[in-house]
Amino acid sequence: MKRLIDAWVLELKPYIKILEIGVGTGRFAQPLQNAGFEIVGIDISRKMAAKAKEKDVEQLLLVDARLLPFKTMTFDATISVHVLHLIAEWKKTLQEICRVTRYAMFSLGYGQKDPVREAYGNRLKEYGYERHRPGKSEQQLSELFCPAKSLFVTSYDVYADGSLTNLKERTSSSQWTIPEEVNSKVVDELKREFAGKVSRQDLYLLKWDMKSLKTYCHDLQHSENQILPVDKKRVLD
């Protein structure tokens, strides 16, 4: 985490006002705020934002990322980590990021897939189920539209036992549509294959140049004729 924050600080150095989409518990916002950046964190979860508030993150808003309440180019840069895959209208969210951001968007990328989670997905398909991800992840975005910069940060160990525990407890929203009995059966099968194993993961800091990303969003919109506007009443509800 220290290496990651150090990398964030160096890459964000040219910028002052930063928006974090999906601020969550403030794990990035707090240290970046302490490093002198003006961070505005948004989240749709009141409980998550409350955790960030406990860490003294100063500027927090309960906001739907598909309808950002900011003027055009309010922020120098935007951070989005593990957010877009949760949003069916991820393209609308990306458009909003492009609208309110002046220079760059940042996220994280990974060098390898977690072998346990990959095996979990494959085994689910054998039973006729799939993990449900409404949108596209930032990792998938990096495959659809190449970042201007991909900076290696560090390598770290991924413990299979930890992944198995998280899968067993269905901590990921993509598992919530999987029946409990199917989930338990698949995890028990994977335990026999992966228990006690350790794999290695490479972590990268991704940066998209906003000018290029805006062009990509514009082309996305034209390829689909029009991205429908968000139902404001539904957002407020």
CATH of 2-236, one of 3.40.50.150, 3.50.50.60, 3.90.76.10, 3.55.50.30: 3.40.50.150
The pLDDT tens digits of the residues spanning 142-183 come to 998 999 999 999 999 999 999 999 999 999 889 999 999 999
Find the mean pLDDT for residues 20-27.
95
DSSP string, 107-144: EEEESS--HHHHHHHHHHHHTT-----SS--HHHHHHH
pLDDT the model gives residue 218: 81
Contact 60, 22 (CB under 8 A): no
Find the mean pLDDT for residues 61-65.
94
Asked if residue 235 has pLDDT above 50, the reply is no
pLDDT tier at 231, thresholds 50, 70, 90: very low
Cα 88 to Cα 91, 132, 146, 173, 184, distances in angstroms: 8, 11, 21, 13, 27
CA dist., res. 35 & res. 70, Å (int): 24
The full set of domain ranges for the chain reads 2-236
CA dist., res. 45 & res. 42, Å (int): 9
Find the mean pLDDT for residues 103-113.
95
pLDDT the model gives residue 33: 95
The pLDDT tens digits of the residues spanning 136-150 come to 999 999 998 999 999
More confident residue, 84 or 226: 84
Angle at 70 between CA 69 and CA 75, to 5 degrees: 140
Find the mean pLDDT for residues 66-93.
95
pLDDT the model gives residue 59: 94
